[in-house]
Structure 1
Amino acid sequence: MRRTRTTGALLLTGAVTVLAAAGPARAQEYRYWAFWDGSDRGSWTYATQGPATVRPADGAVEGFRFTVSADSAAAGRPRAAADFDAICRATPAEKGRKRIGVVIDFGTAADAPGGARPPKARTACAQVSEDASAGEALAAVARPLRYDSNALLCAIAGYPAAGCADQVGGADGAKEPGAPKDADGSERDGDGGPSAGLLGGVAAVVVLGGAAVWQARRRRG
Protein backbone atom coordinates (compact mmCIF):
# COMPACT_ATOMS: atom_id res chain seq x y z
CA MET A 1 0.00 0.00 0.00
CA ARG A 2 2.87 2.36 0.81
CA ARG A 3 4.35 1.70 -2.62
CA THR A 4 0.99 2.47 -4.27
CA ARG A 5 0.68 5.76 -2.41
CA THR A 6 4.22 6.69 -3.38
CA THR A 7 3.53 6.00 -7.07
CA GLY A 8 0.38 8.11 -7.05
CA ALA A 9 2.12 10.94 -5.22
CA LEU A 10 4.98 10.97 -7.72
CA LEU A 11 2.58 11.15 -10.65
CA LEU A 12 0.62 14.00 -9.13
CA THR A 13 3.83 15.83 -8.24
CA GLY A 14 4.93 15.49 -11.86
CA ALA A 15 1.67 17.05 -13.02
CA VAL A 16 2.11 20.03 -10.68
CA THR A 17 5.72 20.42 -11.83
CA VAL A 18 4.59 20.60 -15.49
CA LEU A 19 2.14 23.39 -14.67
CA ALA A 20 4.70 25.29 -12.62
CA ALA A 21 7.29 25.04 -15.37
CA ALA A 22 4.84 26.28 -18.00
CA GLY A 23 3.79 29.37 -16.04
CA PRO A 24 1.55 32.06 -17.52
CA ALA A 25 2.62 33.05 -21.02
CA ARG A 26 2.79 36.69 -21.95
CA ALA A 27 -0.26 37.66 -23.99
CA GLN A 28 0.63 38.49 -27.57
CA GLU A 29 -0.71 41.78 -28.93
CA TYR A 30 -1.92 42.34 -32.48
CA ARG A 31 -2.59 45.40 -34.61
CA TYR A 32 -5.96 45.03 -36.33
CA TRP A 33 -9.42 46.42 -37.11
CA ALA A 34 -11.83 45.64 -34.26
CA PHE A 35 -15.53 45.43 -35.09
CA TRP A 36 -18.20 46.79 -32.72
CA ASP A 37 -22.00 46.80 -32.51
CA GLY A 38 -23.65 50.01 -31.38
CA SER A 39 -26.44 50.00 -28.79
CA ASP A 40 -29.59 52.13 -28.54
CA ARG A 41 -27.87 54.17 -25.82
CA GLY A 42 -24.90 55.03 -27.99
CA SER A 43 -22.42 52.64 -26.36
CA TRP A 44 -20.40 49.86 -28.00
CA THR A 45 -20.29 46.08 -27.63
CA TYR A 46 -17.56 43.95 -29.17
CA ALA A 47 -19.15 42.08 -32.08
CA THR A 48 -19.50 38.31 -31.77
CA GLN A 49 -19.64 37.87 -35.56
CA GLY A 50 -17.68 39.35 -38.42
CA PRO A 51 -18.98 42.17 -40.64
CA ALA A 52 -19.47 39.75 -43.52
CA THR A 53 -22.06 37.73 -41.57
CA VAL A 54 -23.79 40.40 -39.46
CA ARG A 55 -26.90 41.76 -41.20
CA PRO A 56 -27.92 44.80 -39.16
CA ALA A 57 -31.46 46.12 -39.18
CA ASP A 58 -32.43 49.58 -40.38
CA GLY A 59 -31.33 52.10 -37.75
CA ALA A 60 -28.33 50.11 -36.51
CA VAL A 61 -24.86 51.55 -36.01
CA GLU A 62 -21.69 49.56 -36.66
CA GLY A 63 -18.24 50.67 -35.52
CA PHE A 64 -14.69 49.92 -36.66
CA ARG A 65 -11.59 50.84 -34.65
CA PHE A 66 -7.96 50.29 -35.59
CA THR A 67 -6.34 49.13 -32.39
CA VAL A 68 -3.54 47.20 -30.73
CA SER A 69 -4.58 44.61 -28.16
CA ALA A 70 -4.17 41.04 -27.01
CA ASP A 71 -7.91 40.29 -26.75
CA SER A 72 -11.35 41.82 -27.10
CA ALA A 73 -11.37 43.05 -23.49
CA ALA A 74 -8.43 45.35 -24.22
CA ALA A 75 -9.46 46.42 -27.74
CA GLY A 76 -10.01 50.12 -28.32
CA ARG A 77 -13.62 51.19 -28.86
CA PRO A 78 -14.66 53.78 -31.44
CA ARG A 79 -14.35 57.15 -29.71
CA ALA A 80 -17.51 58.54 -31.30
CA ALA A 81 -20.93 57.59 -29.93
CA ALA A 82 -23.12 55.09 -31.73
CA ASP A 83 -25.70 57.79 -32.48
CA PHE A 84 -27.83 56.80 -35.47
CA ASP A 85 -29.87 60.02 -35.51
CA ALA A 86 -26.76 62.18 -35.62
CA ILE A 87 -25.16 60.08 -38.36
CA CYS A 88 -28.15 59.53 -40.64
CA ARG A 89 -30.42 62.53 -40.07
CA ALA A 90 -29.46 63.99 -43.45
CA THR A 91 -30.15 60.74 -45.32
CA PRO A 92 -33.86 60.25 -46.07
CA ALA A 93 -35.32 56.76 -45.82
CA GLU A 94 -36.04 54.90 -49.06
CA LYS A 95 -38.51 52.08 -49.61
CA GLY A 96 -36.84 48.69 -49.97
CA ARG A 97 -33.54 49.90 -48.49
CA LYS A 98 -32.12 50.36 -45.02
CA ARG A 99 -29.86 52.93 -43.40
CA ILE A 100 -26.86 51.85 -41.32
CA GLY A 101 -24.76 54.29 -39.35
CA VAL A 102 -21.04 53.57 -39.77
CA VAL A 103 -18.37 54.88 -37.39
CA ILE A 104 -14.72 54.51 -38.47
CA ASP A 105 -11.97 55.29 -35.95
CA PHE A 106 -8.48 54.96 -37.42
CA GLY A 107 -6.90 54.79 -33.97
CA THR A 108 -4.04 56.71 -32.46
CA ALA A 109 -0.50 57.45 -33.63
CA ALA A 110 0.73 54.94 -31.03
CA ASP A 111 -1.34 52.21 -32.73
CA ALA A 112 -0.23 53.13 -36.26
CA PRO A 113 2.20 50.78 -38.04
CA GLY A 114 5.63 52.05 -39.03
CA GLY A 115 5.06 55.63 -37.92
CA ALA A 116 2.08 56.12 -40.24
CA ARG A 117 -0.30 58.99 -39.54
CA PRO A 118 -3.85 57.71 -38.97
CA PRO A 119 -6.62 59.61 -40.79
CA LYS A 120 -9.23 61.50 -38.79
CA ALA A 121 -12.19 59.49 -37.54
CA ARG A 122 -15.29 59.68 -39.69
CA THR A 123 -18.95 58.72 -39.69
CA ALA A 124 -21.19 57.94 -42.63
CA CYS A 125 -24.72 56.79 -43.31
CA ALA A 126 -24.80 53.77 -45.61
CA GLN A 127 -28.02 53.24 -47.52
CA VAL A 128 -28.00 49.65 -48.71
CA SER A 129 -30.32 46.82 -49.68
CA GLU A 130 -32.43 45.29 -46.93
CA ASP A 131 -30.36 42.08 -46.85
CA ALA A 132 -26.96 43.80 -46.88
CA SER A 133 -24.29 42.84 -44.36
CA ALA A 134 -22.29 45.21 -42.17
CA GLY A 135 -19.35 44.60 -44.49
CA GLU A 136 -21.40 45.72 -47.49
CA ALA A 137 -22.51 48.81 -45.60
CA LEU A 138 -18.86 49.60 -44.84
CA ALA A 139 -17.90 49.10 -48.49
CA ALA A 140 -20.60 51.55 -49.55
CA VAL A 141 -19.01 54.41 -47.60
CA ALA A 142 -15.32 53.62 -47.02
CA ARG A 143 -13.64 52.16 -50.08
CA PRO A 144 -11.09 50.84 -50.76
CA LEU A 145 -11.29 47.90 -48.37
CA ARG A 146 -8.55 45.30 -48.23
CA TYR A 147 -8.97 41.68 -47.10
CA ASP A 148 -6.52 38.81 -46.81
CA SER A 149 -6.94 35.32 -48.25
CA ASN A 150 -8.90 34.27 -45.14
CA ALA A 151 -11.39 37.14 -45.55
CA LEU A 152 -9.88 39.01 -42.59
CA LEU A 153 -10.48 42.77 -42.83
CA CYS A 154 -7.04 44.36 -43.21
CA ALA A 155 -7.66 47.96 -44.31
CA ILE A 156 -10.50 50.49 -44.42
CA ALA A 157 -10.31 53.43 -46.84
CA GLY A 158 -6.83 52.18 -47.69
CA TYR A 159 -5.57 52.31 -44.09
CA PRO A 160 -3.17 50.84 -43.23
CA ALA A 161 -1.39 50.58 -46.54
CA ALA A 162 0.17 47.20 -45.72
CA GLY A 163 0.01 44.41 -43.16
CA CYS A 164 -2.88 42.49 -41.70
CA ALA A 165 -3.36 41.61 -38.03
CA ASP A 166 0.39 41.76 -37.43
CA GLN A 167 1.95 40.78 -34.14
CA VAL A 168 3.30 43.70 -32.15
CA GLY A 169 6.39 43.40 -29.98
CA GLY A 170 7.01 39.66 -30.31
CA ALA A 171 9.70 37.81 -28.44
CA ASP A 172 12.31 38.86 -31.00
CA GLY A 173 10.75 42.27 -31.62
CA ALA A 174 9.58 41.21 -35.06
CA LYS A 175 6.12 41.74 -36.45
CA GLU A 176 4.61 38.62 -37.90
CA PRO A 177 1.22 37.79 -39.40
CA GLY A 178 -1.26 36.81 -36.75
CA ALA A 179 -4.88 35.79 -36.39
CA PRO A 180 -6.58 37.71 -33.59
CA LYS A 181 -10.28 37.52 -32.63
CA ASP A 182 -11.39 40.68 -34.30
CA ALA A 183 -13.23 42.16 -37.15
CA ASP A 184 -13.96 38.96 -39.03
CA GLY A 185 -15.00 37.14 -35.82
CA SER A 186 -12.26 34.54 -36.09
CA GLU A 187 -10.48 33.40 -32.91
CA ARG A 188 -6.88 34.35 -32.22
CA ASP A 189 -4.46 31.70 -30.92
CA GLY A 190 -2.69 32.36 -27.64
CA ASP A 191 -4.70 33.71 -24.72
CA GLY A 192 -1.76 34.02 -22.34
CA GLY A 193 -2.57 30.86 -20.37
CA PRO A 194 -1.47 27.23 -20.57
CA SER A 195 -2.26 25.63 -23.90
CA ALA A 196 -5.06 23.11 -24.31
CA GLY A 197 -2.46 20.45 -25.13
CA LEU A 198 -0.59 21.15 -21.91
CA LEU A 199 -3.71 20.95 -19.76
CA GLY A 200 -4.74 17.76 -21.53
CA GLY A 201 -1.36 16.21 -20.81
CA VAL A 202 -1.57 17.13 -17.15
CA ALA A 203 -5.08 15.70 -16.92
CA ALA A 204 -3.83 12.45 -18.45
CA VAL A 205 -1.05 12.21 -15.85
CA VAL A 206 -3.53 12.69 -13.02
CA VAL A 207 -5.91 10.09 -14.49
CA LEU A 208 -3.09 7.56 -14.89
CA GLY A 209 -2.03 8.15 -11.30
CA GLY A 210 -5.55 7.46 -10.06
CA ALA A 211 -5.78 4.34 -12.22
CA ALA A 212 -2.53 2.98 -10.79
CA VAL A 213 -3.79 3.39 -7.24
CA TRP A 214 -7.12 1.71 -8.08
CA GLN A 215 -5.44 -1.25 -9.79
CA ALA A 216 -3.09 -1.86 -6.87
CA ARG A 217 -5.97 -1.83 -4.40
CA ARG A 218 -7.93 -4.25 -6.61
CA ARG A 219 -5.01 -6.74 -6.65
CA ARG A 220 -4.71 -6.57 -2.88
CA GLY A 221 -8.46 -7.16 -2.54
Structure 2
Amino acid sequence: MAPSVAPSFEKICGSTKSVAGKKRIGLVIDFGKKSYAPAGEKVQKTIVRCVVTAKNSQGIDVLGQVVKVRAGSSGLICGFNGYPKKECGVEIETPAALLK
Protein backbone atom coordinates (compact mmCIF):
# COMPACT_ATOMS: atom_id res chain seq x y z
CA MET A 1 0.00 0.00 0.00
CA ALA A 2 1.54 3.27 -1.10
CA PRO A 3 1.48 6.23 1.30
CA SER A 4 -1.20 8.86 0.68
CA VAL A 5 1.53 11.52 0.40
CA ALA A 6 4.70 11.00 -1.63
CA PRO A 7 7.57 11.88 0.71
CA SER A 8 9.65 14.74 -0.67
CA PHE A 9 12.15 16.51 1.55
CA GLU A 10 12.06 19.57 -0.69
CA LYS A 11 8.27 19.83 -0.55
CA ILE A 12 8.10 19.19 3.20
CA CYS A 13 11.13 21.15 4.45
CA GLY A 14 12.05 23.40 1.54
CA SER A 15 10.59 26.52 3.16
CA THR A 16 11.99 25.72 6.63
CA LYS A 17 15.33 27.41 7.22
CA SER A 18 18.21 25.31 8.44
CA VAL A 19 19.46 26.04 11.95
CA ALA A 20 23.10 25.70 13.00
CA GLY A 21 23.65 22.61 15.13
CA LYS A 22 20.25 21.11 14.24
CA LYS A 23 18.82 18.96 11.48
CA ARG A 24 15.60 19.12 9.50
CA ILE A 25 13.55 15.98 9.02
CA GLY A 26 10.64 15.68 6.60
CA LEU A 27 8.12 13.55 8.47
CA VAL A 28 5.03 11.86 7.01
CA ILE A 29 2.75 9.82 9.26
CA ASP A 30 0.09 8.01 7.25
CA PHE A 31 -2.48 6.33 9.50
CA GLY A 32 -3.66 4.03 6.72
CA LYS A 33 -6.99 3.31 5.12
CA LYS A 34 -10.28 3.27 7.02
CA SER A 35 -10.65 -0.44 6.21
CA TYR A 36 -7.81 -1.09 8.69
CA ALA A 37 -9.34 0.97 11.51
CA PRO A 38 -10.40 -0.90 14.65
CA ALA A 39 -14.18 -1.11 15.13
CA GLY A 40 -15.61 2.22 16.23
CA GLU A 41 -12.46 4.23 15.46
CA LYS A 42 -11.74 6.78 12.73
CA VAL A 43 -8.45 6.95 10.88
CA GLN A 44 -6.68 10.24 11.54
CA LYS A 45 -5.56 12.57 8.77
CA THR A 46 -2.06 12.13 7.41
CA ILE A 47 0.47 14.34 9.19
CA VAL A 48 3.12 16.05 7.06
CA ARG A 49 5.60 18.19 8.97
CA CYS A 50 9.14 19.50 8.84
CA VAL A 51 10.76 18.89 12.21
CA VAL A 52 13.82 20.86 13.32
CA THR A 53 15.59 18.86 16.00
CA ALA A 54 18.95 18.28 17.66
CA LYS A 55 21.54 16.51 15.51
CA ASN A 56 21.64 13.60 17.97
CA SER A 57 17.85 13.11 18.01
CA GLN A 58 16.59 9.63 17.27
CA GLY A 59 13.38 8.64 15.51
CA ILE A 60 11.36 8.46 18.72
CA ASP A 61 12.50 11.99 19.64
CA VAL A 62 11.34 13.31 16.27
CA LEU A 63 7.99 11.54 16.54
CA GLY A 64 7.54 12.90 20.07
CA GLN A 65 7.87 16.46 18.77
CA VAL A 66 4.87 15.94 16.49
CA VAL A 67 2.58 13.34 18.09
CA LYS A 68 1.87 11.69 21.41
CA VAL A 69 3.48 8.26 21.13
CA ARG A 70 1.94 5.23 22.87
CA ALA A 71 4.23 2.24 23.36
CA GLY A 72 3.68 -1.22 24.79
CA SER A 73 5.67 -2.62 27.70
CA SER A 74 8.04 -4.27 25.19
CA GLY A 75 8.82 -0.90 23.62
CA LEU A 76 6.76 -1.62 20.49
CA ILE A 77 5.21 1.60 19.22
CA CYS A 78 1.45 1.03 19.36
CA GLY A 79 -0.17 4.31 18.41
CA PHE A 80 0.07 8.02 17.72
CA ASN A 81 -2.24 10.70 19.11
CA GLY A 82 -4.58 8.10 20.58
CA TYR A 83 -4.98 6.04 17.40
CA PRO A 84 -5.57 3.23 17.71
CA LYS A 85 -7.00 3.62 21.20
CA LYS A 86 -6.02 0.23 22.61
CA GLU A 87 -4.67 -2.17 20.01
CA CYS A 88 -0.96 -2.91 19.81
CA GLY A 89 0.63 -5.16 17.22
CA VAL A 90 -2.63 -6.91 16.35
CA GLU A 91 -2.49 -9.13 13.27
CA ILE A 92 -5.34 -8.43 10.89
CA GLU A 93 -6.54 -10.09 7.74
CA THR A 94 -6.15 -8.09 4.57
CA PRO A 95 -9.46 -6.25 4.08
CA ALA A 96 -11.36 -7.30 0.94
CA ALA A 97 -11.27 -3.69 -0.30
CA LEU A 98 -7.48 -3.94 -0.59
CA LEU A 99 -7.44 -7.27 -2.42
CA LYS A 100 -8.79 -5.72 -5.64
TM-score bracket for this pair, using the shorter chain length: 0.7 to 0.9
**Contact 1:109 1:115 (C-alpha < 8 Å) held by counterparts:** no
Equivalent residue runs for 1:1-221 within 5 Å: 76-142=1-67, 144-168=68-92
Which amino acid in 2 is paired with 1:156? F
SS in 2 for 1:126: strand
After TM superposition, the score normalised by the length of structure 2 is 0.84
> In the aligned structure 2, how far is the partner of 1:138 from the partner of 1:84?
16
> In the aligned structure 2, how far is the partner of 1:150 from the partner of 1:118?
25
Aligned pairs, how many?
93
**Contact 1:125 1:141 (C-alpha < 8 Å) held by counterparts:** no
**Contact 1:87 1:125 (C-alpha < 8 Å) held by counterparts:** yes
> In the aligned structure 1, how far is the partner of 2:3 from the partner of 2:66?
17
> In the aligned structure 1, how far is the partner of 2:71 from the partner of 2:12?
26
SS in 1 for 2:25: strand
1:80 shift after superposition: 1.1
Q: Deviations over 1:37-81 (max 9, x none)?
A: xxxxxxxxxxxxxxxxxxxxxxxxxxxxxxxxxxxxxxx342211
> In the aligned structure 1, how far is the partner of 2:56 from the partner of 2:15?
22
- The higher radius of gyration belongs to 1
- Higher RCO (Cα < 8 Å, 6 or more apart): 1
